[in-house]
Structure 1
Amino acid sequence: MPVRYKTCLLIDDNYIDNFVTRKILESGNFAEKIIVQQSPVDALNAMREGLVKPDVIFLDIRMPAMTGFEFLEEYDKLDLDLENPVKIFMLSSSLDPTDMNNSRNSRHVAQFIHKPLTYEALEELST
């Protein structure tokens, strides 16, 4: 399977979830580089400073310092010089219908994916 993306940014405060998701992304040959940030604030700062230039982001919703939706509000304020828009997938264990609706209604979110990420879900992202 060919690599689909150059840089994937995984933003989730849970170490175990990051470990599992990263392994699936790596074995699925999803991106050349996978960067993990446990803090959405750190992820925003890295993007703002040009240290991280993702073309795809997997974003958790429920995090202590900043929720995924708060991240999207701040992401909106970034002045990123991108040739192609970043594809953002909400990757969450939330069963809250409000979270799913907010994901669907966000202009940044391509899709809501339930944790844990599976090979089947990863395959569906390519179609």
Structure 2
Amino acid sequence: MLISYKTCLLIDDNYIDNFVTRRILESSNFAEKIVVQQSATEAIEAIRIGEIKPDVIFLDLRMPLMNGFEFLQEYDKLSEEKKSAKKIFMLSSSLDPVDVKRSSQNKYITQFIHKPLTHKTLEELSA
């Protein structure tokens, strides 16, 4: 892996998905630090108070309490200095074309990625 981010934030409510994705990110040396949040609500609060300053985010779409799009609405309300993420990837198992289209229209989403994240996908992201 050629690119390496300082802090990668993984937001997903599924423990198994987090475990697998984190292992792939770690083995690819994708980021110096990988932070996992199982709640979008907790993740946005951690960003808001400055506890986490991610330069890349992998965001699940379907989560309880706050879904990925609701997270992005809250992210949009943050001050510019809190919006440290250079890239946000929607990482979802959704096959709904509406979700893919809505992601492509969101100014913060760099790319929609279907789960599971793979080494091949990471290589394509760095190309």
Whether TM exceeds 0.5 here: the answer is yes
1:46 shift after superposition: 0.4
CA distance in 2, matches of 1:13, 1:95: 18
Aligned to 2:71: 71
Structure 2 counterpart of 1:88: 88
**Match of 2:105, as an amino acid?**
N
2:92/2:114 contact within 8 Å kept:
yes
Aligned partners of 2:40, 2:25: CA distance in 1, in Å? Answer: 20
User: 1:80 Cα shift?
Assistant: 3.8
**Matches of 2:51 and 2:105, distance apart in 1:** 29
TM-score, with length taken from structure 1: 0.95
Secondary structure of the residue that 1:63 maps to in structure 2?
coil
Q: Deviations over 1:33-65 (max 9, x none)?
A: 000000000000100000000000000000011
After superposition, residues 45-124 of structure 1 pair within 5 angstroms as: 45-81=45-81, 85-124=85-124
Taking only aligned residues, the RMSD between alpha carbons, in angstroms, comes to: 1.4
TM-score (structure 2 length as normaliser) = 0.95
Structure 2: gaps spanning 5 or more residues: none
What's the secondary structure of 1:54's corresponding residue? Answer: coil
Unaligned residue ranges in structure 1 (runs of 5+) = none
Cα distance per residue 1:65-122 (max 9 Å; x no partner): 1110000000000114169653100000000011000110000000000000000001
Where do 4+ consecutive residues of structure 1 move more than 2 Å? 82-86
Distance 2:85 2:93 in 1: 25
